[in-house]
Homo-oligomer: A and B are copies of this chain.
């Protein structure tokens, strides 16, 4: 539905009279007809506060109107990515990534080879704990082309193509069994960063926990992204050996800090737990020291070390040894408040913000101060010989924001926003330095807090991780909802809360509570919708989404049929409203079947499904798409295949029979 400017006056005028209780607004010819207009009566009947009313009007999308922003949210341990429209907070699509999903056909006859590439050793792995989605960037701004996301549980990285919103690649990290600090990209997406989490022997070999300091290590991997190929190029990727501290998050420098990579960590205590033996549990053992270490990595130096072959191979993957990093001045540490969660680079790259969750301050580091301290060799080595820069030399400021500070985001008004886990609130505070002109009287100062419900982890601002956040919206990713929603059993939804941050000062408005009962989203990024250019039909008939070109073996209209070559049978089938061709597929028990289906439709939304009973096959064939799947016809019988997308009035008649004749006795 096109909304014309005509509505501007209609809406304003009608509300005026309706608001004055003179009624009649509801009688307008507005689409949807009838009951509309009587805002006053409805608000009173439903006990809506003035803030409820404004929130409702800020977030409601009239029928047919598209959302302004698209949020790409991790699906947590659902293994997927959620595509959410903003400000309406409606779930537009669940993208299958690490977990098979039959509506999309992913792992049910299509995409199986992508999932198999992510298996660990000889163990099929059919889920992931997705953590940090990262949109591809050009010059530090989201370019809307690619999305990357990591799997913490098995240390894997996935690549999603935003032309068709489908997963194209999963790579298993060859040296780590778990990760956390991924995916983050460099400002032009040359690299996708994957940082480790819990110390383990590299290559996850067996080593007794008693040998922790000697045999266990941390790591960070730099996956080279080949934008033209649309794939991570494993042959141009490498990793760094790090001390067995527990690396948490990484972020790439930008503008003032481009060429530098920042990470943080916890458990510099090197605690190894063992509560069952009377040892301090990890939660206590990893929280003893006052400081952990901010990691500072020189990207140019590690690139040249990799290119110079200064690596050792672990599980066949090149790793730059810790000693080499130290010797070549490629890795530095700086003290950071203990047990931090966040390491976030300001839009201009001048500052790096770290929050230690047990310290009520955020700590702000300056890239200029860091560079100077390195030049001055102003450091002491840690237990592994890594230079630890002097804290006073590198810290620009500290701001007390509240209890349990975690992650920081930025806007266009010189404010930063930090999630407070223990306060269950979000703090707004002012940046100084290069941003001081925006709030000259109060740099590095807490402005206000807004409560959230409950236990916020990450927060995300619109265009928040770019060089130009736009300062319109903030979403609080809350881990607990407790009493917020009707409980659908003991497993409660997470809660995304949408906050309007457009007004300066102490005005932030909570506008919407969105339950997430489809996983535990960990982080998200919010992109302007107009930066995305998705396909609504595939470019040509016979399209293979995996290669993004027409498939050589695609079934073609007029050439459908069953071709037998000994026990190998090729089925060439087309789908168009409202029939499959052929409608009978007669084969023999023991045949090996390669089944090729092409959707001949060119109309938007004219998707056909293909469900094959008793074979665990369901395909989603979008307009133009061609898919090939294979199986062994080991079971004789009569199997009714059918279109599983309600495509037309005669959709129920869109079916056929697979007839598998028994082997003669």
Contacts and interface: CB of A to CB of B under 8 A. Distances in A.
A39 B16 contact: no
Nearest to A63: B513
A20 B446 CA distance: 37
A480 interface: yes
Contacts of A506: 33-34
A453 interface: yes
A652 interface: yes
A51 interface: yes
A15 interface: yes
A54 B83 contact: no
A642 B198 contact: yes
B623 A490 contact: yes
A357 B652 CA distance: 11
A618 B450 CA distance: 34
Interface stretch (A282-290, A346-354, A369-377, A548-556): A282-290
Contacts of A514: 90
A268 interface: no
Interface in A631-661: 635-640, 642, 644-647, 649-650, 652-657, 659-661
B11 A605 contact: no
A576 to B, nearest CB: 10
A659 B273 CA distance: 14
A334 interface: no
A404 B649 contact: yes
A16 B126 CA distance: 56
A55 B34 CA distance: 11
B639 A177 contact: yes
Given A39-B19, A50-B25, A653-B287, A275 B583 contact: yes
A164 B11 contact: no
Nearest to A36: B51
B578 A177 contact: no
A583 B273 contact: yes
A560 B484 CA distance: 35
A125 interface: yes
B622 A490 contact: yes
Nearest to A286: B653
A102 B126 CA distance: 9
A302 B314 CA distance: 69
Interface string A455-486: 10100000000000000000000011111111
Contacts of A78: 101-103
Given A91-B517, A205-B637, A38 B25 contact: no
Interface size class of A (residues with CB under 8 A): 35 or more
Contact of A52 (B30, B166, B620): B30
A193 B205 CA distance: 54
Contact of A30 (B49, B70, B281): B49
Given A60-B48, A90-B485, A208-B659, A614 B200 contact: no
Interface string A519-530: 110100000010
A21 interface: yes
Given A40-B12, A92-B515, A34 B618 contact: no
A178 interface: yes
A237 B64 CA distance: 47
Interface in A108-164: 108, 120-129, 152-155, 162-164
Among A490, A493, A503, find the residue whose CB has the most chain B CB atoms closer than 10 A. Answer: A490
A438 interface: no
B153 A644 contact: yes
A127 B153 contact: no
A492 interface: yes
A209 B584 contact: yes
Interface in A595-651: 604-605, 607, 609, 611, 613-616, 618, 620, 622-625, 635-640, 642, 644-647, 649-650
List 9 tightest A-B contacts by C-beta distance, closest first. A19-B19, A36-B51, A165-B489, A93-B517, A37-B50, A56-B60, A102-B127, A34-B507, A276-B582
Given A11-B44, A492-B604, 16 more contacts: A11-B52, A37-B53, A48-B60, A67-B485, A92-B485, A92-B493, A204-B614, A206-B661, A207-B638, A246-B652, A282-B583, A357-B649, A404-B649, A489-B534, A490-B537, A491-B620
16 contacts: A19-B40, A33-B506, A39-B53, A59-B60, A77-B102, A77-B609, A83-B517, A90-B515, A92-B486, A93-B489, A100-B126, A127-B618, A164-B489, A166-B489, A273-B579, A287-B653
